[in-house]
C-alpha cells in the first residue's frame, strides 16, 4: 500500500501521510497518540479499519502559512486562564485564523491521494472518520484524550481536507487551552496529527476495558455497548448495556441491559452521521450476543497482551465482516486510572482477586446443583 500511496511523483508525501500499517514505530511526536495506537494495532494484525496518519510535519508547515503561528502567538498573549469568556474568545479567534488559511498545496495533494487510495477498492467515494491525534493524547500519564475533534461519515476529498483543517484548529478549543494551562504545558508547544480511517458499518459499538474499573481487578474485562456508532456511549448520551467478563473463561458473569432509545448511524445519502430512534423491538434487547461478547473480549485480551498493560478500547461490530466475529477495533489507549495507583500497592491483591473470580466462575455451577 505504501508504494502505491506515494507513487505518482509525490516525493515528499511520506513527510505528510503514512498508512497505519507502515507507521508502526513512528514516534508519538510525529503521528500523535491515536495514530500511534492504530499503527501498533495494524502491525499486530488486529482487526483495524484501514486508514492513514497525517503527520505533525504537515501541521508545522500549516503553522508557517502566512505567518499563522505568529498570529496565534499574538492572540494567545491576551489569554486570561482565569476568565472562561476570555478563553472562549481566544479559541474562536485562533480557529478563525486557521480555517481561513489555505493548506499548502503539497500537503493537500498528499491527503487527497491517500483518501483516493482508500476509495480505490470500492470504486466509489467512501465515508471516513477524521479524528484529531494530538501528541499529548492517549498516553499512560495523560488525561488529554478526547480534547480534539472527531468528524464521522466524511465523504469526498474536499470534505476530508476541510475536516483535517478543523482538527488542527481543535488543538485550540477552549477546553484544550484550559487543560494545558492547568497542567503547565506551553500553548505553542502542542502539535496535532490527524487520523483518517474508513468508517465501519456499525450495528453495535462500544468500549472494552481489560480490567474492572471499579476495583482494578485484572482478571475481568468490562464491556459496554449500544446500538449504532459508539460516540453516543462515549459522550454519555445513552446508557449502555454493561457486561462483566471473566478474562480466562471469556464468559459473562454479570450483565445489565439498558433501555437504548436512540442510536447514531452513518447517513451515506447526506454524507454525515445521524441520530434516530431505536425501534421498539431493540430498545430493551442486548446489543451484543454471547458470541459477539466473546469475540470482543478475545480481541481485547489480545490487545492487552500486545501492549503489555491494561487497555481502554473502542470497537464496533460490522456484520459484513466474516473474520474476528465481526469485531473492528477503532482505537486503543492505555488505561489511566488504575495505572496511576501507587507502586507500593501489594502486588498480590489483583492476583488473589483474580484467582478468586476464576474459582467462583468454575464452582458456581456445582453449588447451584446442590441447592
Domain boundaries, the chain: 8-198, 204-359
In this structure, what C-alpha cell is assigned to residue 23? Answer: 507507521
Distances (CA, A) of 68 to 65, 93, 110, 189: 6, 12, 21, 14
Residue 18 in contact with residue 26, Cβ under 8 Å? yes
Flag whether pLDDT at 342 surpasses 80: no
- For the chain, give the percent of residues with pLDDT over 90: 63
- The dihedral built from the CA positions of residue 23, 159, 137 and 303, taken in this order, carries a sign that is negative
Residue 5 in contact with residue 20, Cβ under 8 Å? no
Q: Which of 266, 230, 301 is nearest to 44 (CA)?
A: 301
DSSP 202-258: -SEEEEEESSBTTTTBTTEEEEEEEEB-THHHHTTSSPPEEEEEETTT--EEEEEPP
What contacts 24+ positions apart, CB below 8 Å, involve 3-10?
4/117, 5/52, 5/113, 5/114, 5/117, 6/113, 8/113, 10/109, 10/110, 10/113
Measured CA to CA, the distance from residue 329 to residue 316 in angstroms comes to 7
Structural class in CATH, domain 204-359? alpha beta
> Which residues 6+ apart lie within 8 Å of 218 measured at CB?
210, 211, 247, 310, 350, 354
> Which residues 6+ apart lie within 8 Å of 92 measured at CB?
none
Strands (DSSP E) contained in the chain are 17-19, 51-54, 127-134, 150-155, 192-198, 204-209, 220-227, 241-246, 252-256, 262-267, 272-277, 311-317, 327-334
Flag whether pLDDT at 146 surpasses 60: no
Flag whether pLDDT at 144 surpasses 60: no
pLDDT in tens, 25-80: 899 999 998 999 999 999 988 999 999 999 999 999 999 999 999 999 999 999 99
CATH 3.40.50.970, domain 8-198, yes or no: no
What is the model's pTM? 0.80
- For the chain, give the percent of residues with pLDDT over 70: 84
Q: What is the pLDDT of residue 345?
A: 57
Flag whether pLDDT at 158 surpasses 80: yes
Q: Which span out of 149-153, 183-187, 265-269, 347-351 was modeled with the highest average pLDDT?
A: 149-153
Flag whether pLDDT at 16 surpasses 80: yes
Backbone angles phi, psi at 269, to 5 degrees: -65, -45
Measured CA to CA, the distance from residue 152 to residue 37 in angstroms comes to 19
Average pLDDT over the chain reads 85
Q: What is the pLDDT of residue 303?
A: 94
Amino acid at each position: 500500500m505504501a508504494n502505491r500511496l506515494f507513487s505518482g511523483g509525490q516525493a515528499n508525501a511520506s513527510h505528510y501521510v503514512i498508512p497505519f500499517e507502515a507507521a508502526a514505530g513512528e514516534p508519538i511526536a510525529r503521528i500523535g497518540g491515536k495514530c500511534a495506537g492504530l499503527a501498533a494495532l495494524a502491525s499486530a494484525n488486529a482487526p483495524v479499519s484501514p486508514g492513514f496518519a497525517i503527520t505533525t510535519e504537515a501541521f508545522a508547515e500549516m503553522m508557517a502559512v502566512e505567518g499563522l503561528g505568529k498570529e496565534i502567538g499574538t492572540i494567545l498573549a491576551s489569554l486570561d486562564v482565569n476568565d472562561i469568556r476570555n478563553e472562549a474568545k481566544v479559541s474562536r479567534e485562533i480557529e478563525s485564523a486557521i480555517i481561513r488559511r489555505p493548506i499548502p498545496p503539497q500537503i493537500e495533494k498528499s491527503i487527497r491521494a491517500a483518501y483516493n487510495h482508500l476509495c480505490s477498492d470500492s470504486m466509489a467515494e467512501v465515508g471516513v472518520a477524521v479524528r484529531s491525534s494530538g501528541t499529548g493524547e492517549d498516553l499512560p500519564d495523560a488525561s488529554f484524550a478526547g480534547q480534539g475533534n472527531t468528524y464521522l461519515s466524511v465523504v469526498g476529498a474536499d470534505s476530508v481536507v476541510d475536516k483535517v483543517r478543523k482538527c488542527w484548529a481543535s488543538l485550540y478549543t477552549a477546553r484544550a487551552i484550559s487543560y494545558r494551562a492547568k497542567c503547565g504545558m506551553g500553548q505553542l508547544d502542542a502539535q496535532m496529527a490527524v487520523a483518517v480511517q474508513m468508517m465501519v458499518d456499525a450495528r453495535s459499538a462500544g468500549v472494552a476495558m481489560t480490567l474492572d474499573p471499579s476495583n482494578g481487578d485484572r482478571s475481568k474485562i468490562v464491556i459496554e455497548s449500544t446500538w449504532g456508532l459508539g460516540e453516543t456511549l462515549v459522550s454519555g448520551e445513552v446508557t449502555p448495556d454493561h457486561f462483566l467478563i471473566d478474562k480466562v473463561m471469556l464468559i459473562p458473569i454479570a450483565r445489565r441491559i439498558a433501555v437504548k432509545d436512540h442510536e447514531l448511524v452513518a447517513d451515506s445519502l447526506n454524507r454525515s452521521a445521524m441520530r434516530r430512534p431505536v425501534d421498539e423491538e431493540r430498545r430493551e434487547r442486548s446489543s451484543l450476543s454471547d458470541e459477539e461478547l466473546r469475540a470482543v473480549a478475545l480481541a481485547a485480551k489480545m490487545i492487552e497482551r500486545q501492549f503489555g498493560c491494561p487497555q481502554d478500547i473502542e470497537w464496533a461490530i460490522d456484520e459484513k465482516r466474516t473474520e474476528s466475529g465481526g469485531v473492528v477495533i477503532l482505537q486503543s489507549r492505555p488505561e489511566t486510572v488504575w495505572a496511576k495507583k501507587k507502586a507500593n500497592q501489594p502486588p498480590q491483591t489483583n492476583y488473589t482477586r483474580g484467582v478468586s473470580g476464576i474459582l467462583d466462575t468454575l464452582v458456581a455451577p456445582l453449588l447451584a446443583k446442590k441447592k
